Chain A
Amino acid sequence: MSAPPTIARVGLTGLLVSFGSAMSEPANRAALAFRTAVEAEDWPEVSETMMSLVSVFVAVDLVTAPAEEIEARLREVLARQDWYAAELPSGRTLWHVPTVYGTDLAPQLEEAAEVAGLDPDEAIRQLSTARVRVLTLGFAPGQPYLGELPEVWNIPRQQGLTKSVPRGALVTAIRQLIIFTGPTPTGWRHVGQTAFRNFNQQAEVPFALSPGDELVFPAIDRAAFDKLSAPNSYGAAEREVIA
């Protein structure tokens, strides 16, 4: 059962519509669909919107726009449908991102497999065929939180931090994957390496991904990875539109 959505004030800068107090697939889907609906309303008071894992931030200058009035409008949109049962929006992008699993490029694949109770080959089979969705972007520009992996991947963060993993690293914890935007210290385990670029400020569209996009990470070998050229500004990846 999903709790009813709540609306709260965020300082003087907007309102937060929250669909849960913990990450869940229906709450994330609700936030994705609700944000799309609020964007479509195109209210002049709303300067931007963003979704985090289970909520939607609606940026409004509460110094000049009354919070009650914006809240009433948001409630009206909330009442239109059961957002937890919302369909995923169409027109999203499916990305195929070639990935090297393990090797010196991604040295924690075996450790992660062991924590998950899988042998390394099975771990690679599962990770390279899982189709995951961008649950939210954040922490660094364009950086996706991807999920959800099968329950067996509900593994904790490691106790210590890895000092730095490179740009394009594929890391995992708590049934999620992240592709890192830049070199990052992390408690997540480095299981794969991609040539993907989340963010390229020189590109016409600087951010590759949007919330709701889906990704798969097919396995390639080390030799193929070394030969990868970057056919477009986001690094080696192919994409197709999800109808």
Chain B
Amino acid sequence: MSGALTILSAGPALSLQDLGRRGYLAKGLTRGGAADLRALHEGAALLGQAPDCAAIEMMGMGGTFEADVDTVIALTGAEMAATLDGAPLIWNASHALSAGAKLVIAGVRAGTYGYLHVAGGFDTPPEMGARSAHLTAGIGALLQASDSLPIEASHARPGLFLTPEGRLSGGVIRMVLSFQSALFSDATRARFGETVFRRDPRANRQGVRLDMAGDGFHAEGGLSIVSEVITPGDIQVTGDGAPYVLMCESQTTGGYPRIGTVLPCDLPKVAQAPAGAELRFQVVSLEEAIAAETRARAEIKALPSRIARLVRDPHDIADLLSYQLISGAVSAAADPFATTGEQP
């Protein structure tokens, strides 16, 4: 049965996102898509579906949602306080969402971009091969209260859980040198590697500005560099010497020099770092970068095999009466499945 998920109230930056659009660079359009691509894969693994299904990306805070058919949702990415008809929901898990139940997703607890996935994906008409809003290009728009997104009734399995790769609090970001790195002196690049940056609150899907104590970073050639291709992850240094990590909705070309490029597998960590979080950059060799990226891709492929049951289904428990059921209760505030080092 076809139905809809209606947004009853919306945070300031909700948008529909998928893997984005490829093939339009020559026309001036970057890929766009989810700021944290890994979260899209995690949601797909939890719901047992393809990673190109569209999900709602929620920057900083969520909203209130209601479906008119029974479905199953998954919550991934930045951890947010979520309740279903008042009962707390665990993040990084799949949950049944019955028709008429109220799903409330409040402010972020850790990270920046949370994702609300629905079984089968949101079935809006694709534009230019994708359902993503590309806000800087004017494709699609932010989601607002009273928007309804088409979904299908589904019996995907609720109560599944995934321990995500920790990426919500900044840290060390690996980068490779790129074609403009040599425009910066060795001393400048060394200082860049030693600097502790903080994510500036001015950050969006286009770019993340980095703050630091001390002088800015300047290229030898100054500002007279011919405009060149930009790829997501490029670390661009603007006129005032402040670096920006360029993200999924960056421009396709730019005239400010790039000191290097963040590895694609570390880009979700940059996207998710909350305002004020510390970020440091470590240059790795091409070989190390290829090894790290290959490992990360293998991990994403293996996500479905890492799905665990959140709460055991009574039908699966042969000796139900021998269980002390109450001790299995879980709270969204204390995450019993978190592994060490991943606490916000």
Contacts and interface: CB of A to CB of B under 8 A. Distances in A.
B228 interface: yes
A63 B226 contact: no
B251 A201 contact: no
Nearest to B175: A11
A187 to B, nearest CB: 12
A186 to B, nearest CB: 14
Nearest to B224: A22
Contacts of B28: 137-143, 181, 207
A61 to B, nearest CB: 9
Interface stretch (A47-55, A217-225, A233-241): A47-55
Report which residue of B22, B27, B178 has the largest number of chain A beta carbons within 10 angstroms of its beta carbon: B27
A83 interface: no
B70 interface: no
Interface in B200-229: 224-229
Nearest to B262: A11
B57 to A, nearest CB: 19
A50 B26 contact: yes
Nearest to A35: B26
B314 interface: no
Interface stretch (A12-20, A94-102, A105-113): A12-20
B290 to A, nearest CB: 5
A67 B263 CA distance: 16
Contacts of A10: 178-179, 229, 231, 261
A136 B25 CA distance: 11
B146 interface: no
Contacts of B263: 12
A139 B251 contact: yes
Contacts of B290: 12, 62-63
B139 A139 contact: no
B139 A138 contact: no
Contact of B294 (A11, A63, A67, A137): A63
A181 B134 CA distance: 14
B333 interface: no
Interface in B304-336: none
B149 interface: no
B138 A182 contact: yes
Interface string A2-37: 000000111111101010111100000000000100
A49 B26 contact: yes
B25 A52 contact: no
A206 B229 CA distance: 21
B231 A13 contact: yes
A62 B179 CA distance: 14
Contacts of B128: 201, 206
30 contacts: A9-B178, A9-B286, A11-B260, A11-B261, A12-B286, A12-B289, A13-B231, A16-B228, A21-B225, A23-B226, A35-B26, A47-B22, A47-B23, A48-B25, A49-B26, A50-B25, A50-B229, A55-B226, A55-B228, A57-B25, A137-B26, A137-B27, A137-B28, A138-B28, A138-B251, A139-B252, A141-B27, A141-B139, A142-B27, A142-B29
Interface of A: 8-14, 16, 18, 20-23, 35, 47-55, 57, 59, 62-63, 67, 136-143, 181-182, 199, 201, 206-207, 210-211
